[in-house]
Amino acid sequence: MRYLIGARDYSIMKPPKATSESVSRSMRSNRSSGTKPELALAKLLRKRLYRNGLPGNPDFIYPKKKLAVFVHGCFWHRCPRCKFPVPKSNTEYWRDKFSRNVKRDALAVKSLRKMGWRSMVVWEHDVKKDPRKAAKKIRSTGSEPPIA
């Protein structure tokens, strides 16, 4: 079975040209390499980014705990805290795109659960605000218990 869930397939559909500064800023913040929240976390966690094999392509996995960690960009994944407005131009496109993203996220969690995996979502705004705290939270949830 092939899963096409997650952040990696955004390139399939090219978004329309951003017409407002706030939209282009939101989009840019998600692309700029090096400052990507998942990369910052990978460094802090000393963990490789997970690339494929599980539904939704989680960013990190803790196999022994069967924990999948998703680092979600607030704009693309419709963060309930940040509540980015739907862009005023190409509104239909964006609504459709966002609803597909959200559905895909939910489906990934569901598929993982069926496989006995737990999912943890870490939002971009939390990573940006306090990367160490976010990393700590992930580590404490996913770290393997010490061998007695």
Measured CA to CA, the distance from residue 98 to residue 93 in angstroms comes to: 9
> What is the spatial distance between Cα 129 and Cα 93, in angstroms, rounded to a whole number?
30
**Radius of gyration for the chain, computed over Cα atoms and rounded to the nearest angstrom:** 16
Judged by CB under 5 A, the stretch of 50-58, 110-118, 122-130, 133-141 that binds Zn ion is 122-130
- The total of other beta-carbon atoms located within 10 Å of residue 48's CB is 9
75 binds Zn ion, rule: CB under 5 A: no
The DSSP H or E segment spanning 132 is helix 131-142
The span of 62-70, 74-82, 86-94, 96-104 binding Zn ion (CB under 5 A) equals 74-82
Told to check if 118 binds Zn ion by CB under 5 A, we report no
Is residue 46 close enough to count as binding Zn ion by CB under 5 A?
no
By beta-carbon proximity to Zn ion, the closer residue of 58 and 73 is 73
How many residues line the site for Zn ion (CB under 5 A)?
A: 6
According to the binding rule CB under 5 A, does residue 74 interact with Zn ion?
Answer: yes
For the chain, give the longest Cα–Cα distance.
59
What residues line the site for Zn ion (CB under 5 A)?
Answer: 74, 79, 81-82, 123, 125
